[in-house]
Chain A
């Protein structure tokens, strides 16, 4: 393309009118209130938004600082460092906890691979993606920002657009496949309970561990309890 052809393209597009559609959320009216017409569009059930770091029902953090999420992340936007738990006052069950945890939302592509990699379901994604930051620092969510609060709910950060009641729908329940990838697990809930929500209800034909399968022919051996999942042995 020569030097002037480029301008020609620009000029041509100039006359075509605006094709960008207004995003239907977050628009305030003249009084500074959200206009009733400006409702957020309903999000697909498995929309991928920003992450949360979950806690167990007793308040302990689920993250063990294993760095598997960081290792799998194709955008290399997760930074994790582990450290020893204080035996008298542990942050998470076991020896190790996530000491530093950061996700850079200027890079994250919300592929959810971290969620799949996580052996403890510590990291999950909410449906929240409506945020606009004005500096890099805000874009890098720290562990303090990602961690759910004492009620197990995500924290509302100043630059995030939340509507009343939305926190109810922000829990990070989002799984693409069974935790071990095993066929047998597809029908059994293989996840641990989390603060604020308990053990998630089975979905789409799944059932709680221990419940007898609707179809008694299916061989469910090997899928016994939540603790066993994730095993390669």
Chain B
């Protein structure tokens, strides 16, 4: 198996003990005296010393199981030479290993002959053909002949084990990689070996599809073509793929990926084994969302509103209109969005809007985030620091499994295998709850009070729905001396962000040396914040002297007719802002709406001018992930029609505004960025080179977040249920909806209640109930949810069936609904 196989970087075999080579364990490999790291597996030690041992089941990111026996080598530990699986053997002192002996070769040939007995001759139609470890090993180590002339074992050809993954059991060589991944890494043990003997097969449990958020990883690690991904099935063959390493922009984790294209279309995304970030794993969203790039609905030319609606126009004409729209008083302009853009696009726009035009009503988050001046001012942690063995991680806010799935896998690994203690201070049970040391779920609006009680040592009485025992246990863990990392996100869109901010302040008080990892989820939102796409931050770095309006403020001002021009930088407030009514009013009352986007969304359809932008995979650039790592984005395919990179659009618009930006290439943009924004001032852009994860930025802030007086939530009125509105991985987001294979994955909106509340209402799961709020009502299915506190209802955001944004108001600190039986 060549090392250059996509997804596996050489030298990333295991991170553990990487620096112990000096005082290593002496062993002899094919007559050469060498040193192994302590605890290193023989297969890895050989690989590191240039001797490749064939393997199928061994995967450096999972526990070895010794299923396939492909890695047998002759080993002498003093008791005479014998064949041993090198993936199960840690190197011991004075071990003598021979990978070239006749015995080893015979064992390899025998194992391959046996493996191929029941393996079909499918190579020409098999998606793995051409990049198949079984093909490669059969050529390199196989006997070349088979003595088997009997009929092979037959199974029904591919069966769908989920809507994304197909399983061909005839091709399976029973290596246990997929099943181990599902159980050990993803924590969704939905596939397993069933039956015995020659009928042994991987399969799902009856009526339980393999509907894991991480199912695509099994396709990537299957050493044969037994597992194939429906979106890629028969799309291309390995030899017509061109590839480049890039970064996933789906969420702010910035997972490292390989983009593969054929005929100028993105056809496949693989995870790269990046030690710092995603360890080769991806969520299915990061893996399959590229389908949207190829959608027929992409915007390909500028559109301008005329009597017949939006009609195609020339770039120059459209940009002139945008220039006119921006030629008004700065305070009458609102800018929403910007987190989809690569850093260079963000900078070009920020330079024009903030630097040249002095606009301060700029916000990259749509009422679902946290204030930039708080988030940037906190002492930062990296993913590796958060996941360091034996640390403590406090999750404040959102469910990482739904919002930051690649980060979730790292945290899950840390908790389940490295002894990291997880404390949940989340509105409800999350994907990490089974692995958490403490799961506390403050009632909506109470998280600040709960954190303050912990900080102040008031641990004897229940606070905000958290029992005294839990408060004490949290305080004890936080004070245990282990390094503490707080992952901060927005777990409930129906409560004001200020409660989370209060909790941050309290936790900083409780553990002054705690570090923070931002859980803001939107793609490149951290790049946007560095460039001042937040009302409280200044362009160039630092706090703004004269803060502008945030998204809610902009929309409110717009609804009141105080905003002349609304610029949407890949933002869709109508669908994505948790107060649909306000967003609709705003868009109606603004004179000119300008949208820079990739699709015609609900909001862009209302725009006066629409400029088509190129998206991920079509542009070069940089991406700043949640830990402050600057990773490269690379173009692999060309943008459709006249769509352009965002920085070019900003330059074009700047010319019609009359303050032309002097950028002719991406290097010019980067030079400007380094000159204008201090954080990027000393950056060596060459570090964004061909491989590697990109540099971690050093922020050296000269300011600290200022916290005001804690906000007090009104007490529940006793009749209603406090509402939690949170996000699911699969929702009605534009990109998901534009991806053919993902479109149908979002579940239908329902109201979730705990068992006691269901019983109190006298309804059971699946019944219809009436959800009422101050000025409306809606009939919804009810679902039972384990881990939801009493007196709380949850309705996820942006799901088919009901737009919960309809009932939210950004004025309210908390939201309440009533649920009655219809």
Interface presence of A96 (CB below 8 A): yes
Contact present for A84 and B145 (CB under 8 Å): no
Contact present for B119 and A64 (CB under 8 Å): no
Contact present for B124 and A224 (CB under 8 Å): no
With A230-B121, A233-B121 known as contacts, the answer to whether A67 contacts B237 (CB < 8 A) is yes
In the assembled complex, the Cα of A186 lies from the Cα of B360 at a distance in Å of 80
Residues of the A chain whose Cβ atoms lie less than 8 Å from the Cβ of B145: 222
Fill in one digit per residue for B103-123: 1 if any A CB lies within 8 Å of its CB, else 0. Answer: 000000000000010010101
Residues of the B chain whose Cβ atoms lie less than 8 Å from the Cβ of A81: 234-235
Interface presence of B158 (CB below 8 A): yes
Residues of the A chain whose Cβ atoms lie less than 8 Å from the Cβ of B236: 67
Contact present for B158 and A231 (CB under 8 Å): no
In the assembled complex, the Cα of A231 lies from the Cα of B142 at a distance in Å of 13
In the assembled complex, the Cα of A82 lies from the Cα of B123 at a distance in Å of 14
Interface presence of B146 (CB below 8 A): yes
Most chain A beta-carbon contacts within 10 A, residue among B125, B138, B235, B240:
B125
Q: What is the CB-to-nearest-CB distance from A30 to chain B, in angstroms, rounded to a whole number? A: 50
Contact present for B142 and A94 (CB under 8 Å): no
B143, closest chain A residue (CB): A233
With A67-B237, A95-B158 known as contacts, the answer to whether A233 contacts B119 (CB < 8 A) is yes
Interface presence of B239 (CB below 8 A): yes
In the assembled complex, the Cα of A119 lies from the Cα of B158 at a distance in Å of 21
Contact present for A64 and B233 (CB under 8 Å): no
Most chain B beta-carbon contacts within 10 A, residue among A64, A82, A94, A233:
A233
Residues of the B chain whose Cβ atoms lie less than 8 Å from the Cβ of A83: 234
Interface presence of A113 (CB below 8 A): no
- Among B124, B157, B158, point to the contact of A68 (Cβ < 8 A): B124
Contact present for A232 and B237 (CB under 8 Å): no
Q: What is the CB-to-nearest-CB distance from B71 to chain A, in angstroms, rounded to a whole number? A: 20
B-side interface mostly: loop
Interface presence of B307 (CB below 8 A): no
Contact present for A232 and B138 (CB under 8 Å): yes
Contact present for A64 and B124 (CB under 8 Å): yes
Interface presence of B92 (CB below 8 A): no
Residues of the A chain whose Cβ atoms lie less than 8 Å from the Cβ of B149: 224
Interface presence of B139 (CB below 8 A): yes
With A96-B125, A233-B116, A233-B142 known as contacts, the answer to whether A71 contacts B237 (CB < 8 A) is yes
In the assembled complex, the Cα of A152 lies from the Cα of B24 at a distance in Å of 69
Q: What is the CB-to-nearest-CB distance from B131 to chain A, in angstroms, rounded to a whole number? A: 12
Contact present for B138 and A66 (CB under 8 Å): no
- Among A66, A71, A230, A233, point to the contact of B125 (Cβ < 8 A): A66
In the assembled complex, the Cα of A66 lies from the Cα of B237 at a distance in Å of 8
With A232-B135, A232-B139 known as contacts, the answer to whether A119 contacts B237 (CB < 8 A) is no
Interface presence of A187 (CB below 8 A): no
In the assembled complex, the Cα of A83 lies from the Cα of B234 at a distance in Å of 6
A92, closest chain B residue (CB): B125
A118, closest chain B residue (CB): B124
A71, closest chain B residue (CB): B239
Contact present for B121 and A231 (CB under 8 Å): yes
In the assembled complex, the Cα of A84 lies from the Cα of B127 at a distance in Å of 12
Contact present for A94 and B125 (CB under 8 Å): yes
Q: What is the CB-to-nearest-CB distance from B52 to chain A, in angstroms, rounded to a whole number? A: 20
Contact present for A95 and B157 (CB under 8 Å): yes
In the assembled complex, the Cα of A217 lies from the Cα of B751 at a distance in Å of 80
- Among B130, B233, B240, point to the contact of A70 (Cβ < 8 A): B240
Q: What is the CB-to-nearest-CB distance from A226 to chain B, in angstroms, rounded to a whole number? A: 12
Interface presence of A65 (CB below 8 A): yes
Contact present for B119 and A71 (CB under 8 Å): no
Residues of the A chain whose Cβ atoms lie less than 8 Å from the Cβ of B119: 233
In the assembled complex, the Cα of A62 lies from the Cα of B236 at a distance in Å of 19
Q: What is the CB-to-nearest-CB distance from B170 to chain A, in angstroms, rounded to a whole number? A: 11
Contact present for B138 and A233 (CB under 8 Å): yes
In the assembled complex, the Cα of A64 lies from the Cα of B237 at a distance in Å of 13
In the assembled complex, the Cα of A47 lies from the Cα of B560 at a distance in Å of 82
- Among A71, A95, A120, A233, point to the contact of B240 (Cβ < 8 A): A71
Fill in one digit per residue for A160-188: 1 if any B CB lies within 8 Å of its CB, else 0. Answer: 00000000000000000000000000000
In the assembled complex, the Cα of A64 lies from the Cα of B234 at a distance in Å of 11
Residues of the A chain whose Cβ atoms lie less than 8 Å from the Cβ of B157: 95
Q: What is the CB-to-nearest-CB distance from A225 to chain B, in angstroms, rounded to a whole number? A: 10
Residues of the B chain whose Cβ atoms lie less than 8 Å from the Cβ of A233: 116, 119, 121, 138, 142, 146
With A84-B234, A233-B116, A233-B146 known as contacts, the answer to whether A66 contacts B121 (CB < 8 A) is no
Residues of the A chain whose Cβ atoms lie less than 8 Å from the Cβ of B237: 66-67, 71
Residues of the B chain whose Cβ atoms lie less than 8 Å from the Cβ of A68: 124
Q: What is the CB-to-nearest-CB distance from B166 to chain A, in angstroms, rounded to a whole number? A: 10
In the assembled complex, the Cα of A33 lies from the Cα of B157 at a distance in Å of 57
A224, closest chain B residue (CB): B149
Task: List B residues 214-267 near A (Cβ within 8 Å).
Answer: 233-237, 239-240
Contact present for B125 and A95 (CB under 8 Å): yes
Most chain A beta-carbon contacts within 10 A, residue among B121, B138, B236:
B121
Fill in one digit per residue for A74-104: 1 if any B CB lies within 8 Å of its CB, else 0. Answer: 0000000111100000000011100000000
In the assembled complex, the Cα of A116 lies from the Cα of B142 at a distance in Å of 24
Fill in one digit per residue for A139-166: 1 if any B CB lies within 8 Å of its CB, else 0. Answer: 0000000000000000000000000000
Q: What is the CB-to-nearest-CB distance from A128 to chain B, in angstroms, rounded to a whole number? A: 27
A64, closest chain B residue (CB): B125
In the assembled complex, the Cα of A84 lies from the Cα of B119 at a distance in Å of 21
Residues of the A chain whose Cβ atoms lie less than 8 Å from the Cβ of B121: 228, 230-231, 233
- Among B116, B135, B234, point to the contact of A96 (Cβ < 8 A): B234
B121, closest chain A residue (CB): A231
Task: List B residues 124-171 near A (Cβ within 8 Å).
Answer: 124-125, 129-130, 135, 138-139, 142, 145-146, 149, 157-158
In the assembled complex, the Cα of A66 lies from the Cα of B149 at a distance in Å of 25
A119, closest chain B residue (CB): B124
- Among B130, B138, B233, point to the contact of A84 (Cβ < 8 A): B233
Q: What is the CB-to-nearest-CB distance from A13 to chain B, in angstroms, rounded to a whole number? A: 45
Residues of the A chain whose Cβ atoms lie less than 8 Å from the Cβ of B125: 64-66, 82, 94-96
Contact present for B139 and A67 (CB under 8 Å): no
Most chain A beta-carbon contacts within 10 A, residue among B119, B145, B234:
B234
Contact present for B234 and A82 (CB under 8 Å): yes
Contact present for B234 and A65 (CB under 8 Å): yes
In the assembled complex, the Cα of A93 lies from the Cα of B245 at a distance in Å of 37
In the assembled complex, the Cα of A17 lies from the Cα of B236 at a distance in Å of 53
In the assembled complex, the Cα of A168 lies from the Cα of B124 at a distance in Å of 31
Q: What is the CB-to-nearest-CB distance from B262 to chain A, in angstroms, rounded to a whole number? A: 9
Contact present for A66 and B233 (CB under 8 Å): no
Residues of the A chain whose Cβ atoms lie less than 8 Å from the Cβ of B158: 95
Contact present for B139 and A120 (CB under 8 Å): no
In the assembled complex, the Cα of A198 lies from the Cα of B130 at a distance in Å of 32
In the assembled complex, the Cα of A37 lies from the Cα of B813 at a distance in Å of 99
Q: What is the CB-to-nearest-CB distance from A113 to chain B, in angstroms, rounded to a whole number? A: 14
Q: What is the CB-to-nearest-CB distance from B547 to chain A, in angstroms, rounded to a whole number? A: 55
Residues of the B chain whose Cβ atoms lie less than 8 Å from the Cβ of A82: 125, 234
Residues of the B chain whose Cβ atoms lie less than 8 Å from the Cβ of A232: 123, 135, 138-139
A227, closest chain B residue (CB): B121
Residues of the A chain whose Cβ atoms lie less than 8 Å from the Cβ of B130: 71
Q: What is the CB-to-nearest-CB distance from A16 to chain B, in angstroms, rounded to a whole number? A: 48
In the assembled complex, the Cα of A65 lies from the Cα of B234 at a distance in Å of 9
Q: What is the CB-to-nearest-CB distance from A43 to chain B, in angstroms, rounded to a whole number? A: 31
Told that A94-B125, A224-B149, A230-B121 touch, could you supply 17 new A-B pairs with CB distance under 8 A? A64-B124, A65-B234, A66-B129, A66-B237, A67-B237, A70-B240, A71-B130, A71-B237, A84-B234, A95-B157, A96-B125, A119-B124, A222-B145, A232-B138, A233-B121, A233-B138, A233-B142
Those 4 A-B pairs whose CB atoms lie nearest each other, nearest first: A66-B124, A82-B234, A96-B125, A119-B124
Ordered by A's residue number, 13 sampled pairs between the chains whose C-beta atoms are within 8 Å are: A64-B124, A64-B125, A65-B125, A66-B129, A70-B240, A71-B237, A71-B239, A71-B240, A96-B125, A119-B124, A120-B124, A228-B121, A231-B121
Please list the residues of chain A having a beta carbon within 8 angstroms of any beta carbon in chain B. 64-68, 70-71, 81-84, 94-96, 119-120, 222, 224, 228, 230-233
Please list the residues of chain B having a beta carbon within 8 angstroms of any beta carbon in chain A. 116, 119, 121, 123-125, 129-130, 135, 138-139, 142, 145-146, 149, 157-158, 233-237, 239-240
